């Protein structure tokens, strides 16, 4: 484990593996730097992969205020630590973070995002509701509400509550409000996207109809944007499929993609 320090003094934990051009992974809700190890292992054959714990997760410092700006500063610190202009892959809310950071001026060589949740539902009122539940000690209910918003069936949630992974979800419940904040009130951040001059690939699975519409609009709003739909897949994609897509996009520098 390595570390870097964000602008406000928060220490961020980073795992670095592989050789080649730098690639930063920004994970989404309920995830830390351990969550994408399978994907990172495949990408590390071609890239130097940097996985980091977003603040409030894993071995990084506390969440502090619920602030998109602090998250952008964190990602900027991780990018700077690579020593070059890195590629960035953002998964779900991590994709929304990558877009926010790039529009704020954080330099990336290329950007790839998977199903950033710019969709009606995740708004400030909901973020405040989740924060209140966590403050009251009801982390379980906060997780339930978040999963319900994401469309998880009640039966599936009950099964998850009875399984060994529920404790992990509860442990990260306090980070859910910032994931909601990154959703930009459920609106496509057209102004932010228009400021991004870096090539951007927006990816979605064909079984996520809301996401296919989102990525099309993202691509249309970004000067060098394009979209890609992965047939037969949803919000969770096998590591080998996703690593192939990312490697192809990041390594294709000749065409200017």
> Per the domain annotation, does 87 fall within a domain?
yes
Residue 129 sits in the same domain as residue 222: no
Q: Which of 134, 159, 178 is the last residue of a domain?
A: 178
Residue 159 sits in the same domain as residue 198: no
**Mean pLDDT, range 150-155, rounded to an integer:** 88
- The pLDDT confidence band at residue 114, using thresholds 50, 70 and 90, is very high
Handedness of CA 242, 30, 6, 60 (dihedral sign): negative
Phi, psi dihedral angles at 256 (to 5 degrees): 80, 10
Tokens coding 181: 């904040």
Residue 191 sits in the same domain as residue 243: yes
Longest Cα–Cα distance in the chain: 54
pTM over 0.85: yes
Q: Which of 178, 196, 216 is the last residue of a domain?
A: 178
56: alpha, beta or left, given left = phi > 0 and alpha = psi -120 to 50?
left
Cβ-proximal residues to 60 (8 Å cutoff; 6+ apart), any chain: 10, 11, 12, 13, 52, 53, 54
Apex 199 CA angle, 97 and 221, nearest 5: 70
Residue 90 sits in the same domain as residue 199: yes
Q: What pairs with residue 13 in β-bridges?
A: 3
CA 40 remoteness from chain centre? 14
- Distance in angstroms (rounded) separating the CA atoms of residues 128 and 105: 28
Residue 107 sits in the same domain as residue 226: yes
- pLDDT tens, residue by residue, 218-257: 999 999 999 999 999 988 899 999 999 999 999 985 434 3
- pLDDT tens, residue by residue, 3-51: 999 999 999 999 999 999 999 999 999 999 999 999 999 999 999 999 9
- pLDDT tens, residue by residue, 167-199: 999 999 999 999 999 999 999 999 999 999 999
Strand 22-26 relative to strand 11-17, pairing? unpaired
Q: State how far the alpha carbon of 39 is from the alpha carbons of 6, 16, 21, 25, 230, in Å.
A: 26, 13, 16, 10, 16
Residue 135 belongs to what domain range? 124-178
Q: Which CATH number belongs to the domain containing residue 83 in this structure? A: 3.40.50.1820
How many structural domains compose the chain? 2
- DSSP 8-state class, residue 109: S
């Amino acid at each position: 484990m390595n570390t870097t320090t964000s602008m406000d003094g928060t220490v961020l934990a980073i795992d670095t593996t592989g050789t080649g051009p730098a690639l930063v992974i920004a994970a989404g809700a309920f995830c830390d730097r351990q969550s994408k190890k399978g994907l990172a292992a495949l990408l590390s054959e071609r890239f130097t992969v940097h996985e980091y714990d977003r603040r409030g997760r894993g071995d990084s410092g506390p969440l502090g205020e619920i602030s998109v700006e602090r998250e952008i500063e964190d990602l900027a610190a991780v990018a700077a630590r690579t020593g070059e202009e890195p590629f960035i892959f953002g998964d779900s809310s991590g994709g929304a973070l990558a877009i926010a950071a790039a529009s704020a001026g954080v330099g990336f060589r290329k950007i790839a995002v998977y199903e950033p949740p710019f969709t009606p539902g995740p708004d400030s009122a909901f973020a405040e509701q989740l924060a209140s539940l966590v403050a009251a000690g009801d982390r379980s209910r906060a997780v339930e509400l978040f999963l319900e918003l994401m469309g998880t069936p009640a039966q599936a949630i009950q099964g998850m509550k009875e399984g060994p992974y529920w404790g992990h979800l509860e442990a990260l419940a306090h980070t859910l409000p910032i994931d909601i904040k990154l959703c930009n009130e459920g609106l496509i951040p057209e102004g932010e996207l228009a400021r991004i001059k870096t090539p951007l690939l927006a990816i979605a699975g064909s079984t996520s109809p809301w996401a296919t519409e989102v990525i099309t609009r993202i691509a249309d709003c970004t000067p060098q944007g394009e979209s890609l739909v992965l047939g037969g897949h949803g919000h969770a994609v096998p590591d080998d499929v996703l690593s192939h897509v990312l490697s192809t996009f990041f390594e294709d520098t000749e065409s200017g993609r």
